[in-house]
Structure 1
Amino acid sequence: MVRQQISIILLGTLLVLTVSCASLQKDTLASTVDDGLSGDIADIAASIVPLDTSAGFAQVLDARKTIRDLEQKEIKDTVFEATLLAWSGRLFLIEGKRPEALRALRRAQTLAPGVTAVAVLEARLKSSAEERLAFLDSFRDLADTPAVIEIERARTLGELRRYREAVAAWDAAFPALPTYYRETYGSEREQAWTLRSISPDSSASSDALAAKPEITLTDALTLIRDETTLLANITGGSLWTTDRLYRDLNNRGIIPVDSLGTVRLQDRITRAHAAWILWQLNAEHRAQPGLKTRYSDRIRTLPNPKSPVLDVPHGSRWFDSVMGCVEWEFMNLPDGKNFFPDRPIPGIAFMEMLRRVN
């Protein structure tokens, strides 16, 4: 059943007329290949697609042997031959043999350039992600299996760091394809979902930090330096190392101190640490030192001072920072009552906080 499904999806061009779109010519190509050979190509697809993310030596050899076995049958059908050449070229790319992949593409294009497998190979051989996306966009409405083109678009959009669009492409493609596509590329989709709020203008190194489920103080300082202007008054616009930043910010009282002492560069930071850093930097950036003790100063004037945040009491070293970050909406109370100061900070969450502060 699965084999039949794959055959229908990937080799629709073997059963119907195929329109050549590489040069937008109008000649049609009919395939006379039987269901058995269509199934063979489908099996090749099922073995090669997973190699995009897990290319084991034995699996590559097996896929190459299957292709050679089919080549030796010398099937005289232009669509079938073009499709087989395209998958062979895709495998050459996995093997690191780009010249061979280019030769396979040229031969396939002389036979049936409008076949989706040929278009995928052509896209993968483009010299840049921008060129690849432009080609895929021009082909997507002409493809016999548009979901396969959407897979390639999703991967390319992710490479271009257009994550929100990548998620949409993944979600459009997966339901129309065999399950091995989701099994192969599902982690890329989840990565795009995690990073969907990141602007393409942010740096690639920041993307890597944003994807981390927990960040260290080094990570936090790197993101502050690379993604905000909060340090401009301190660095004068120079690109300081995190070591230099750490020393200077520590002297200014911006590096948090907890029950274990001053937080070190390699230490994982918590929500409390993040609140301290953000609030201290906000006060420094605005040249308003009074912000640092604003809430403690206010609450002392009350007859019965009590913190509105259940797990950050008045008198806590984090009180002013937490109150400030919550009131100014740099951070939130996850359940509406508690701050959860000891929870770790994911990179993407910290980047979103920085965007609000900046």
Structure 2
Amino acid sequence: MKEIFRSYLFFFVTGIVLLNSCVTGGDKVLVQTIDAESLEMIDKVDLLLLDYKISKDKNKIEEAEKLIGDLESRSLKNKAFEAKVLGLFGEMEYCKGQTINLKSYVGGIEARNKYEERLYILKTYIVGDPVEKEKILLQGIEKADENLKLKLYLGDIYFLSGQFGKATALYDSVFTEISEEYKSYYIKKREISKNFIDKKVVGKNTILSLLKDRITVGDLVATIFDETDLLNAYKSQKIKDGYNNLVNDKFFYDIALTLEKEIKRKDIAFFLLKTLSIKENDPDMINKYVVLPSNERSDAESIVLSPVPDISTRDYFYTAALILVEREIMDLPDGERFFPEDFMSGIEFFGVLKKL
């Protein structure tokens, strides 16, 4: 009887020790699970926050906040779940620009599950040193319960610092394991990283512009300042001051253009011709193809006189377009027309700039 009692006692005590170890995260494996519906809600919050970072749509952050509140009530007495919810709270506040409580969130997560994936991401928000951020994320990739988001986040850090080979390797390592919804946020970065592995990109603003289908005046100015020395005389510590210097020297025909406005091909051509004239020390270049005005000449006649069918000899960018096309700096997208009213992507502009 005593032997039976001792056996029961042994198994009872052992069970308590194992349960306590699993719940508190003393070992890396946590027995406490999170139900499937809650996991779907967590993924939805993640996607909403990713969307908000790009769109700045307040509806996204409000929807995320409501879902996090619901998750909080579901997570009670489940330490692994509570740690995830705290991580989402911290991420949301970081998205809002509210960083004062990040250390508290980090402490709360560590007390519940020191292997929670988002713990390592929040830690990087607290430190400023890029080397330290990388070290934290590499540690997390090795130790965390899950590491797909850590790899994506580190991939983004490499991407934004121009380390495209490292970024590509990390994106590739997770792409077969993430959902199509997640892929949609990273697929463009992955493709750019692959295509730019052998290219040198200096400025973070340039890299961000590579993601855009339509660059702004600000993107154009930042890229030419960061990636070339063609306009060093106009540079300033602030992009706005550099832009004003360019405006004062008539680099932009359209004076209504501001840093935030998307810029069309015709105005990019005008800007680039001015830049080219400085590079070649030829201020009269703008007059090379000027056709003498005639009050009697119709718009139709002005177009007929032009070798490019969608540009008139009266257009202020006429000479710019012809010279840049002639020198194969800008192209005729369909082989015939210039499409002056179209916009230009960041990748296209980067390619054009490298031909100057």
Residues 63-142 of structure 1 aligned to structure 2 (within 5 Å): 63-68=71-76, 70-71=77-78, 81=79, 83-94=80-91, 96=93, 97-108=101-112, 115=115, 118-126=116-124, 127-128=127-128, 129-138=130-139, 140=141
**Whole-Å separation in 2 of the counterparts to 1:87 and 1:325:** 54
Residue-pair matches, total:
291
- Asked if structure 2 preserves the Cα contact closer than 8 Å seen for 1:154 and 1:165, the reply is yes
Cα distance in 1 between the residues matched to 2:34 and 2:311: 68
What displacement does 1:162 show?
4.9
CA distance in 1, matches of 2:282, 2:36: 71
Unaligned runs of 5+ in 1: 1-17, 19-26, 72-80, 257-261, 298-304
1:83-137 deviations in whole A, cap 9, x for unaligned?
335314313414644243222343346xxx5x4xx24412431324543333333
Question: What's the counterpart of residue 230 of structure 2?
Answer: 230
CA drift of 1:296 comes to 7.0
Gaps of 5+ in 2: 1-21, 51-59, 94-100, 292-303
Distance in 2, matches of 1:268 and 1:149, equals 33
RMSD: 4.3
1:266-303 superposed Cα distances (whole Å, 9 cap, x missing partner)? 47543222222212321222213464455679xxxxxx
Shift of 1:58: 1.9
Give the alignment of 1:1-358 within 5 angstroms.
39=36, 42-43=39-40, 45-46=42-43, 48-50=45-47, 52-53=49-50, 54-56=60-62, 57-68=65-76, 70-71=77-78, 81=79, 83-94=80-91, 96=93, 97-108=101-112, 115=115, 118-126=116-124, 127-128=127-128, 129-138=130-139, 140=141, 145-158=146-159, 160=161, 162=163, 166=167, 169-170=170-171, 172-179=173-180, 181-182=182-183, 186-187=184-185, 189-190=187-188, 201-204=202-205, 213-215=213-215, 220-221=220-221, 223-225=223-225, 227-232=227-232, 235=234, 240-247=241-248, 249-250=249-250, 254-256=251-253, 263-266=255-258, 269-289=263-283, 291-294=285-288, 309-312=308-311, 318-357=317-356
Distance in structure 1 (CA, Å) of the matches to 2:34 and 2:231: 64
1:299-353 Cα distance to aligned partner (Å, 9 max, x none)? xxxxxx9865443467865443223212333211211222212223345533443
Shift of 1:44: 6.1
- In the TM superposition, residue 43 of structure 1 has moved relative to its aligned partner by 4.9
Whole-Å separation in 1 of the counterparts to 2:168 and 2:341: 32
Q: CA deviation at 1:42?
A: 3.4
Identify if the C-alpha distance between structure 1 residues 29 and 219 changes in structure 2 by more than 3 Å, giving closer, same or farther: closer
Contact 2:202 2:226 in 1 (8 A): no
TM-score, normalised via structure 1 length: 0.62
How many angstroms apart in 1 are the aligned matches of 2:190 and 2:335? Answer: 28
Give the share of equivalent positions with the same residue, in percent: 18
Task: Verify the 8 A CA contact 2:264 2:340 in the aligned structure 1.
Answer: yes
TM-score under structure 2 length normalisation: 0.62
